[in-house]
Amino acid sequence: MSSPLVQGYEVVIGFETHAQLSTQSKIFSRASTAFGAEPNTQACAVDLALPGTLPVMNKAAVERAIQLGLALGSQIAERSIFARKNYFYPDLPKGYQISQFEIPVVQGGEVSFFMEEGKDTVHKTVRLVRAHLEEDAGKSLHEDFIGQSGIDLNRAGTPLLEIVTEPDMRSSAEAVAYAKELHKIVTWIGICDGNMQEGSFRCDANVSVRKPGTPLGTRREIKNLNSFKFMQQAIDYEVRWQIEQIEDGHAIQQATVLFNPDTGETRAMRTKEDAADYRYFPDPDLPPLVIGRDWVERVKSEMAELPRVMAERFITQYGLPEYDASQLTQSKAVAAYFEATANACGQPKLASNWIMGEVSRRLNSGDMSFEALPVSAAQLAALIGRISDNTISNSAARQVFDALWVEGADAGGNADATRVDAIIDAKGLKQMNDTGELEKIIDEVLAANPQNVQEFKAGNTKALNGLVGPIMKASKGKANPAQVNALLMKKLG
């Protein structure tokens, strides 16, 4: 698949994502990591960098790194090194950040996903360079004080996993699809709560453009993209800006830029010339992080089934196409709903079609999350059962589904599967399975539409549609379309 070009330029994007790890306590201290507490109430002596304090590794953060590595098929380094990144800033209490530099804990791996490209659904793979453990800084509060800045160190020492990709993405859409997939994985395996508003999942995009076949262009890094919408807007703006610069004969300067959602523009914060020298060196307070095979195996055995493993199982166990399997493993809730429905009705493909079709359409139009779905799996299974035993037609099933939705959304709603038959009866949606009655309707419609009959006989198969419509209408939608077709062919053949 060739890359989509923008004004003849190829877009090259790499990502750095900071995922806050969902540990109870901080990466090198015992202070709580809970969000939203009063400033500086969740910062202990270690977080404040009081003299004499030392970091002690939180094993829970390491386990989360191992989990990510296992989920993405990466190497888990048996020995990785913590380094100090030295710089002065008021919200960095020690004057250095403990991070990993030369030898990170997670090395290599990949993220693969499906995305729409034109009319096609294509499979993409983005390679990872590494993921390393580090501590977050505190926050500077510039707005709340006049002529001064406040410092809140609650966030200082919160464990982060910085996940770095190769420059493998070729469009803003692909970048967003990658970010969504990564977001799905970290929340699925439970290492990160994924809350982008609270900064639990922050993305930096390295963006450059080039003429196809030429070396990589100079990149600019868009920092702190905290929503998928802004991500796409920011990259699109940045790409247009860079192309404009080049077309105007200007060279791109390596820089760090910020996206302003109000103006929709990116603006340079600092250029390479004033980049700090971080004086990285191995942190002498922390021995090398040693992860034995037994530790990795234990973490593996305790991990939930990974989305890609589950997708493979859906293909073999339920005979689903790869695309369906991938869509149904977008979240644990969707996957569980699918399995419950498929197992209850014994029609996995129909269950998949309904979930990817009607269910997701209704959720999207209501901007609802899957967790809020008002129709139970048992109800959907019963509904699918009534379609496949020809009790109701697909269009009637949609009416039943709507009714179930309204009932379920109502606080007094009943999730019971028996509601399906009750609604079918109440609405009189049962299909007409009496051939005699249906044949009578067909004969009347054929008599009333001689022109269609002639055209069909002359070889225009489309003329059949002009007959099916009136038949369905006359049956008040209760006729089984397959049965109608069969009878029509018999009578016209």
Partner 1 sequence: MSDQALHLQSLVDLRATLATKQASALEVAQHFLHRAQADAHHAFLAFNPEATLAQAAAAQQRLDAGDTSPLLGLPIAHKDIFVTTDFPTTAGSRILEGYRSPFNATVVQRLSDAGMVGLGKLSCDEFAMGSANENIAVPSAKPQAVTNPWDLSRIPGGSSGGSAAAVAARLTPAATGTDTGGSIRQPAAFCGITGIKPTYGRTSRYGMVAFASSLDQAGPMARSAEDCALLLSALCGADLDRDSTSLDLAPENFSVSLNSHVKGLRIGIPNEFFGDGLASDVRAPIDQALQTLVGQGAVLVPIALPRTKLSIPVYYIIAPAEASSNLSRFDGVKFGHRAKDFGDLADMYEKTRSEGFGDEVKRRIMIGSYVLSHGYYDAYYLQAQKIRRMIADDFQAAFQQCDLIAGPVAPTVAWKLGDKSDDPLANYLADIFTLPASLAGLPGMSLPVGFGEGGMPVGMQLIGNYLQEAKLLNLAHQYQLLSDHHMHTPGGAA
Contact mark string toward partner 1, 89..108, x via CB under 8 A? -x--xxxx------------
When the beta carbons of 204 and 285 are compared against partner 1, the nearer one is 285
Write out the DSSP string of 435-473: HHHHHHHHHHHHHH-HHHHHHHHTT-GGGGHHHHHHHHH
| Nearest residue (CB) to partner 1, 98 versus 160 | 98
We find the least distance from the C-beta atom of residue 272 to partner 1, in angstroms, to be 13
CB of 87: closest distance to partner 1 in angstroms?
9
The residue within the footprint of partner 1, chosen from 3, 32, 86, 227 (CB under 8 A), is 86
- Asked if residue 51 binds partner 1 (CB under 8 A), the reply is yes
Q: Choose between 71 and 291: whose C-beta lies nearer to partner 1.
A: 291
- Residue 207's closest CA among 193, 223, 195, 196? 223
Stretch binding partner 1 (CB under 8 A), from 47-55, 228-236, 299-307, 450-458: 47-55
> Is 45 among the residues that bind partner 1 (CB under 8 A)?
yes
Among 281, 304, 395, 435, binds partner 1 (CB under 8 A): 281
Q: Identify the residue among 84, 155, 184, 220 touching partner 1 (CB under 8 A).
A: 84
Nearer CB in complex with partner 1: 17/97: 97
For 122, phi and psi rounded to 5 degrees?
-115, 155
Taking contact as CB under 8 A, which single stretch among the options 205-213, 250-258, 272-280, 431-439 is the one that binds partner 1? 272-280
5, 48, 115, 356: which one binds partner 1 (CB under 8 A): 48
Tell me the C-alpha distance between 358 and 341, whole Å: 14
Residue 419: CB atoms within 10 A of its CB come to 23
Stretch that binds partner 1, among 65-73, 86-94, 294-302, 415-423 (CB under 8 A): 86-94
Residue 93 or 217 with smaller CB distance to partner 1? 93
Rank residues 46 and 453 by Cβ distance to partner 1 and give the closer one: 46
| Residue number, 273 or 389, with CB nearest to partner 1 | 273
Looking at the Cβ atoms of 90 and 321, the one nearer to partner 1 is: 90
Closer residue to partner 1 in complex, CB, 288/357: 288
Quick check: 280 binds partner 1 (CB under 8 A)?
yes
Binding mask 399-438 for partner 1 (x = CB under 8 A): ----------------------------------------
β-strands 5-6, 9-20 pairing: antiparallel
Instruction: Establish if 183 lies at the interface with partner 1 (CB under 8 A).
Output: no
User: Is residue 6 near partner 1 by the rule CB under 8 A?
Assistant: no
CA-based nearest residue to 65, from 208, 138, 195, 162: 162
288 binds partner 1 (CB under 8 A): no
Shortest distance (Å) from residue 298 CB to partner 1: 20
Q: Which of residues 143-182 bind partner 1 (CB under 8 A)?
A: 151
Residue 52, interface with partner 1 (CB under 8 A)? yes
* Distance, C-alpha 48 to centroid of its chain: 36
Any idea what DSSP says for residue 269?
E
- DSSP secondary structure string, 226-258? -SHHHHHHHHHHHHHHHHHHHHTTPPPPPEEEE
CB of residue 65 vs partner 1: minimum separation in angstroms?
A: 17
Nearer residue to partner 1 within complex by CB, 281 or 469: 281
Q: Does 218 bind partner 1 (CB under 8 A)?
A: no
Nearer to partner 1, 38 or 367 (CB): 38
Burial 151-181, CB ≥16 within 10 A → b, else e: bbbbbbbbbbbbbbbebbbbbbbbbbbbbeb
Long-range residue pairs from 265-269, CB within 8 A, at least 24 positions apart, any chain: 265/237, 265/241, 266/220, 266/222, 266/234, 266/237, 266/238, 266/241, 268/220, 269/223
Tokens of 20: 């806050």
Task: Kindly tell me which residue out of 8, 212, 264, 287 binds partner 1, with binding defined by CB under 8 A.
Answer: 287
Candidate residues 1, 56, 336, 482; the one interacting with partner 1 per rule CB under 8 A:
56
Between vectors from CA 377 to CA 373 and to CA 378, what angle results, nearest 5°? 135
Dig out the tokens for 65 from the structure.
């790194």
CB of 219 to partner 1, least distance (A): 19
Long-range contacts from 474-479, C-beta under 8 angstroms, 24+ separation: 474/441, 474/444, 474/445, 475/432, 475/438, 475/441, 476/428, 477/393, 477/395, 477/396, 477/429, 478/393, 478/396, 478/428, 478/429, 478/430, 478/431, 478/432, 479/393, 479/431, 479/432, 479/438, 479/441
Q: What is the dihedral of CA 25, 26, 32, 36, to 10 degrees?
A: -130
112 binds partner 1 (CB under 8 A): no
C-alpha to C-alpha distance for 285 and 55, rounded to whole angstroms: 7
CB of 148 to partner 1, least distance (A): 11
Total residues contacting partner 1 (rule CB under 8 A)?
28
- Output 55 or 348, the one with its CB closest to partner 1: 55
**In sequence order, what DSSP letters do the residues of 146-190 get, joined into one string?**
SSS-EEE-SSTT-EEEEEEE-S-B-SHHHHHHHHHHHHHHHHHTT
Binding site for partner 1 (CB under 8 A): 45, 48-57, 84, 86, 88, 90, 93-96, 151, 277, 279-281, 284-287
